[in-house]
């Protein structure tokens, strides 16, 4: 069963490209890019209600592992 997102592919791809453009502009090495993106993920997760945060982190890490 395919996963249905409430966000359009176009919107997701635009945001991803914007993030990558900043890393390219800053000539970020892979370790710096991962550090910056990791800090951004931490910031986003801090906006999730604490009662749901652990489940969101688990789902995110599972999806990340599957994508690489």
Q: Dump pLDDT digits (tens) for 11-60.
A: 999 999 999 999 999 999 999 999 999 999 999 999 999 999 999 999 99
Q: Give the pLDDT of residue 4.
A: 77
Assigned token pair, 30 = 């892979």
Contact 44, 53 (CB under 8 A): no
State the Cα–Cα distance between residues 60 and 41, nearest whole angstrom. 10
Cα of first residue to Cα of last residue in the chain, in angstroms, is 21
Q: Give the pLDDT of residue 1.
A: 54
Give Cβ neighbours of residue 28 (< 8 Å, ≥ 6 apart).
36
Alpha helices in the chain (DSSP H): 9-25, 30-46, 50-67
pTM: 0.83
């Amino acid at each position: 069963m395919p996963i249905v997102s409430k966000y359009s592919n176009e919107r997701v791809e635009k945001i991803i490209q914007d993030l990558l453009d900043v890393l390219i502009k800053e000539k970020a090495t892979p370790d710096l890019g991962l550090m910056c993106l990791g800090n951004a993920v931490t910031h986003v997760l801090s906006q999730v209600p604490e009662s749901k945060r652990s489940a969101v982190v688990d789902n995110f890490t599972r999806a990340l592992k599957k994508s690489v």
